[in-house]
Amino acid sequence: MAILGGGPAGTATALSLRAHAPSLSVTLIEQSNYSGLRIGETLPPTVQSLLEHLGVWSTFEHEGHLPAYGTCATWGSNELFENEFIFHPVGGGWHVDRKRFDAMLAREAASKGVDLIYGSKFIRGEKTKKDHWNLSVQTARGGQLLLEAKFVVDATGRRGVFAAQQGVRKTLLDQLLGVFVFLGLDAGDSFADSYTLVEPWEDGWWYSALVPGEKLVVACMTDVDMATKYRLNSSPVWFDLIAKSRHTKERIRNAKPLGGPSTYPAFSHRLEQITGDGWLAAGDAATTFDPLSSLGIQKGLRSGILASYAIADYFKGSASSLEKYEAILAKEFEEYLSTRTDYYCQERRWQNSPFWQRRYDQITLDPRQMLRLSEMPGQASAVERLSMHLPVSDLKYLCDLCSVPGQAHEIVSKFKAQRSSTPDRRVILALQYLAEEGLIKSAAA
């Protein structure tokens, strides 16, 4: 079998498979050689149990990553609030060098018998008549490898390359973007606190954390349209904006920028379909969480372990193993969305700002409001371009239900009669979204 992607999810899948299904031959294909920049620096204390489960805890301890003792935030208040890891029974967390952390996991997988192919890019996969996958891989020297696999794991991160080739779409929940700058610290600098700092502002929030090598990473987290509005990819604009902060500007007072701003997608999403015939997605290829949660790496490791169990059962002939895996990740994602909304709702200082309003998930639709299809020109193609709150197929179904005018609560009930697993709140938010996009409107209009 083949695993596409050598990040935490891909390597965790490989490591767990070697432990729980040692008879399986596992090939892991990683596009990089782990020398480039990788975003995601903080590990919570709870990740220790996952690393122990994967058999790499001892190796991790000797890697020399920086201790992280918690988070300082001005969330909902002008004053800093400390959330110390020391209150967690495991102890402190860590600031890690992501490329070194990921490379360590890959080496451990290789040492346990995983066939690791570095510097090779997955190009395409085609299903054969023998229920195998033919995978085309481009090597670092421009050559081509042809591999055959009985099962494929898509662990290619947010891009979800393999799933996209199968025609699987993403359902987005926001348009969050991170605009990152790395800064250098003098070796003799008195900057000693290793807390992750989170500081909200009118159109987003600032994030900063130490990383190994006397460096500090600082990110302005905002929505795509806000980043464009402020021109945050410009160094002068980025530094002018940070100068308006209270705590973050003090943290970088003696730091020197090592380069200009770089943008990275940070939106929350899930695949419309996480598993398929002879494949599944793991880690960020399957779902992504808001970086505010600090759970990205932990989620990747956990989903890789769960994926390995599903794959092992799949090869034992279990017809439901992939369905169970998808159900677990879907439930986890819905729980995350609820927690995300609760946390953002704690910050009310800029409640009229579009950035914060988008995250409050406010229901403004009157249940008795009569709705109907707007019959706008090019409506069919317009629905195809939508991707927020629900899968495109569900958005289309909501539009179909509105082809006959009805009250909002009736439309929600009809939808739930066919798709009972979707939370009511998500259906209502999707209706509001369709109204905002002009695809449905008041029947009285």
Mean predicted confidence (pLDDT) in 409-413: 95
The residue-averaged pLDDT of 320-334 equals 95
- Contact between 177 and 213 under an 8 Å Cβ cutoff? The reply is no
Sheet with 269-271: list strands edge to edge: 170-172, 269-271, 287-288
Q: Are residues 150 and 71 in the same domain?
A: no
Residue 368 identity (one-letter amino acid): R
pLDDT band at 122 (very low <50, low <70, confident <90, very high): very high
User: What are φ and ψ of residue 161, in 5° steps?
Assistant: -60, -50
203 in a structural domain: yes
pLDDT given at position 191: 44
- Tell me the average pLDDT across 53-80: 88
Token digits for 442? 């008041």
Least confident stretch, 17-31, 37-51, 101-115, 184-198: 184-198
Task: Please indicate, yes or no, if residue 306 is contained in any of the structural domains.
Answer: yes
Q: In the predicted model, is pLDDT for residue 230 greater than 80?
A: yes
Residue range 285-308: average pLDDT? 94
Let me know whether 305 and 160 are in one domain.
Answer: yes
Domain-terminating residue out of 236, 266, 296: 266
Q: Residue 222 sits in a domain of what CATH number? A: 3.30.9.100
What is the pLDDT confidence band of residue 353, given thresholds at 50, 70 and 90?
very high
Q: What percent of the chain has pLDDT over 90?
A: 69
In the predicted model, is pLDDT for residue 264 greater than 50?
yes
User: 344, 371, 388: which is the final residue of a domain?
Assistant: 344
Same domain, 281 and 389: no
Q: pTM to 2 decimals? A: 0.90
In sequence order, which residues have a C-beta less than 8 Å from that of residue 338 and are 6 or more positions away? none
Query: What per-residue confidence (pLDDT) applies to 193?
Result: 63
Q: Are residues 207 and 229 in the same domain?
A: yes
Q: Return d(Cα 237, Cα 218) in angstroms, integer.
A: 14
286 lies in a domain?
yes
Number of domains within the chain:
3
Structure confidence at residue 253 (pLDDT): 87
Q: Which letter does DSSP use for residue 79 in this model?
A: S
- Do 230 and 272 lie in one domain? The reply is no
- pLDDT-based confidence at 35, cuts 50/70/90? confident
Confidence band (pLDDT; 50, 70, 90) for 4? very high
**pLDDT on residue 190:** 43
Instruction: Look at residues 300, 359, 307, 357 and name the one whose alpha carbon lies nearest to residue 328.
Output: 307
Q: Does residue 163 sit in the same domain as residue 279?
A: yes
Cα–Cα distance between 138 and 144 in angstroms, integer? 5
> Do 217 and 281 sit in the same domain of this protein?
no
Please give the angle made by the CA atoms of 44, 47 and 51, to the nearest 5 degrees: 150
Residue 355 placed within a domain: no
CA distance readout (Å), 160 to 134, 175, 248, 280, 355: 18, 17, 34, 11, 26
Does 358 map to a domain? no
More confident residue, 83 or 123: 123
Residues 165 and 313 in one domain: yes
401 with 257, same domain: the answer is no
Task: Say which residue, 115 or 386, is predicted with more confidence.
Answer: 115
Tell me which of 249, 266, 283 is where a domain ends.
266
**pLDDT beyond 60 at 88:** no
Give residue 415's pLDDT band: very low, low, confident or very high (50, 70, 90): very high
pLDDT tens, position by position, 182-203: 999 875 554 446 688 999 999 9
Q: Say if residue 118's pLDDT is above 70.
A: yes
Q: Is residue 353 part of a domain?
A: no
Domain that holds residue 382: 363-442
Task: Please report whether residue 329 resides in a domain.
Answer: yes
Residue 49 or 71, more confident: 49
Mind listing the pLDDT tens digit for each residue in 36-64? 777 767 788 889 999 999 999 999 988 88
Residue at 204 is within a domain: yes
- Mean local confidence (pLDDT), 376-404: 84
Same domain, 409 and 426: yes
Q: Does the structure show a pLDDT above 90 at 75?
A: yes
CATH number of 334's domain:
3.50.50.60
Output the pLDDT for position 360: 93
Q: Does residue 215 sit in the same domain as residue 125?
A: no
* 104 and 148 together in one domain: yes
